[in-house]
Amino acid sequence: MAAKKNNTSKSNGFKEFESKGNNFNYSGRIYTDKKREAGKLTIYPISLCINGLITIKGCSYYETSNNCWVGGPQYKSGDEYKDYLYIDKENNADMDKVAEVISGIIED
């Protein structure tokens, strides 16, 4: 996916993003028209592409009044949600940077 940062497609309800990380390059789409609220948490669905090779659908961008992060697809087990994906600690800084880029796009 050759996405450009802050490229917008209003007719489709998404905005494209890209972020260069220490280990991988990330790009994808945030679906701003599908925003939902869960208490004090705002959730936007995203698709996340890694190095232009693998796209993971079902990811989410989460935002509170003082924090934001990206999470992978989840499933419900009883009363709690569990992740389908595990993100290695060495990639946490990259994912934090992706969340910052998305945060800037939403504010546009």
Phi (first) and psi of residue 61, to 5 degrees: -105, 125
Residue-wise pLDDT tens digits, 2-60: 444 454 445 578 999 999 999 999 999 999 999 999 999 999 999 999 999 999 999 99
Q: Which tens digit of pLDDT belongs to each residue from 57-107?
A: 999 999 999 999 999 999 999 999 899 988 888 899 999 999 999 999 987
User: Which domains, and CATH codes, for the chain?
Assistant: 7-107 (3.30.1120)
Distance (Å) of CA 22 to CA 25, 26, 37, 94, 101: 8, 11, 32, 7, 15
Counts of helices then strands in the chain (DSSP H, E)? 1, 9
